[in-house]
Amino acid sequence: MTTDRNRTAHTDGPTGPTGSTGRATTAALTADSSDSPSPRGRSALVFGGSRGIGLATARALAAQGHRVTVASRGGEAPDGLAAVRCDVAEPADVDRAFESAGRRQGPVQIVVCNVGVREDNLLIRSDAAAFQRVVNTNLTGSWRVLRRAAPALVDGGWGRVVLVSSVAAVLGMAGQTNYAASKAALVGLGRTVARELGPHGVTCNVVLPGFVRTALTEDLPAPRRAQIVDGSALGRAAEPEEVAAVIAFLASEAAGYVTGAVVPVDGGLAMGV
């Protein structure tokens, strides 16, 4: 789907993003002001965790007793959470994000990768540079996160990885050849990681959000919002917390036998695809 907002950092929906991870070249950890989590909690790092689905996910994980750091372009620390600046297009930033989270809360065991940018344009008007920029963040950036996370997950013998894709990956959206292609590729990435790391007690799953109520989607013209919502079986937009609940489950002990799954949370928008 085409909008007038390009190069937008995100947490996904069919219009693209609703959260953020972007282009900072330094990483800085902000101290957590919350109470100490349960000793049963795991160490979690949520990329794209400063707003939208990512922030709702970070809060859901924290509510379950996990020690949570959010990584985002601005590095803002939401209330009760630690934060680190990170641009997943920069390998050094990804390294520093894991190092900062590890110093604060121990080796990262739960990784939620909810990052990306859009540069919307029709195929006939698009160019290779824009395609490469989008792929470098959405796909290669996610690979950087997983590559950095994998050794500690394997060494620890336990891990949960959740990649946040988009319903655009299976539906296709006019004006989003680069975005939809990069998000579809996360399925292949996630399922391969599931096979490689599964013997070490690590699961990897992919979530496909549909149209989610966020500041970004609320900025769309009302007729376009209504058109998308009417295409879903439930006839309404999702709240970020509804998607976060699914991600939190996939990151839980209870989801230990769920891996390589592609889970739509789209109200039936892509049903049958």
Q: Residue 211 and residue 269: Cα distance in Å, rounded?
A: 8
The torsion angles phi and psi of 124, rounded to 5 degrees, stand at -65, -20
Q: What is the pLDDT of residue 21?
A: 37
Q: Is the pLDDT of residue 1 over 50?
A: no
Q: Which residues contact 32 (CB under 8 A, 6 or more apart)?
A: 69, 77, 80, 81, 82, 104
257 is catalytic: no
Quote the CA–CA distance of 80 and 33 in Å, as a whole number.
Answer: 5
Identify the pLDDT of residue 236. 94
pLDDT digits (tens, 9 = 90+) for 105-151: 999 999 999 998 889 899 999 999 999 999 999 999 999 999 999 99
How much is the average pLDDT of 24-48?
Answer: 57
179 within 8 A of 120, measured Cβ to Cβ: yes
pLDDT at 273 over 50: yes
Q: Catalytic pick from 47, 131, 179, 211?
A: 179
Whether the CB-CB separation of 212 and 53 falls below 8 Å is answered with: yes
Q: Who has greater pLDDT, 170 or 13?
A: 170
Residue (of 53, 4, 12, 14) closest to 172 by Cα position: 14
